[in-house]
Structure 1
Amino acid sequence: MQTHAGLKRTVPIDSPQFLESITMLNQRRRLALVAWRSILERPTSRADLERKYHELLSAADGMEKEGLINGEEWRKLARKAAACFDETKY
């Protein structure tokens, strides 16, 4: 029996529950990435830049822990957060 490792429980690939689970996982992923992007694009004062940077990293950590993104995707988000921090802190 084949299963999908990113799901919280083992679901056979040939079952209707598998497709439903994947769809729900993709929706959660999309919503989490939209939320992350909204944090990134939110206007921030210079005084709050460091807090925003840590908020972005924390959101990326949560997505990785939930299995919504992998390590490579986490690194991309972390680099974008760092670039935003570096560009706007001066």
Structure 2
Amino acid sequence: MVIYMEYLRELNMISIIVRAVLALVIGGSIGINRESKKQPAGFRTYMLVSVGAVLVMMTNQYISEYYNTGDPSRLGAQVISGIGFLGAGTIIV
């Protein structure tokens, strides 16, 4: 199990696919729960937000691993502020 976890921490095609699929499944399950309770943000919203967050964080990992430039926590902070913006829009609607 430890070997698989180390393999998935690296940036390769399998780890990218596994991360994206996990984001789809987890975001979709949260979205189904929200849709069943008739909340404004539902299945598609949570899936898109979770996949977008995963793609941004994988891009951040790629940039910090291969180029060694910039601050690796900046993109993560922008993901959090973007999700906060979506949450505020959901509350207003």
Whether these two folds match at TM > 0.5 is no
The structure whose RCO (Cα within 8 Å, separation 6+) is larger is: 1
TM-score where L is the length of structure 2:
0.37
Q: Over alpha carbons, which structure has the higher Rg?
A: 1
TM-score where L is the length of structure 1:
0.38
The answer to which structure has the higher helix fraction is: 2
